[in-house]
Amino acid sequence: MVHESKSPHSSPTFCVRKPNGKWRMVHAFNKLNAATIPASTPIPRKDVLQNNMAGCTIFSALDMVDA
């Protein structure tokens, strides 16, 4: 059963068609983003991340080709 949420933290969710014809679920987080305090630390540079990963044996990746 689907019903409207009364939560102040709810966000609209809907589907849009991708160029390849498949459907993508989209969440509109505009109000949540407006209420969120941005991080005070900058995003690390690529070379700093690579240096920190030196010697590691487990890595992960996110494939966004068909997202």
Three-state DSSP class for 24?
A: strand
The whole-model pTM stands at 0.44
Q: Is residue 62 part of a domain?
A: no
Q: Is residue 18 part of a domain?
A: yes
Task: Taking the CA atoms of 10, 14, 19 and 22 in sequence, report the sign of the dihedral they define.
Answer: positive
- Domain tally for the chain? 1
For the chain (67 residues), the mean pLDDT of every run of 10, in chain order, is: 78 91 92 86 87 85 73
Task: Taking the CA atoms of 23, 25, 31 and 34 in sequence, report the sign of the dihedral they define.
Answer: negative
Phi, psi of 59 (to 5 degrees): -130, 160
Q: Is residue 36 part of a domain?
A: yes
C-alpha to C-alpha distance for 59 and 49, rounded to whole angstroms: 12
The domain in which residue 25 lies consists of 13-53
Q: Compute the residue count for the chain.
A: 67
Q: What is the pLDDT of residue 23?
A: 94
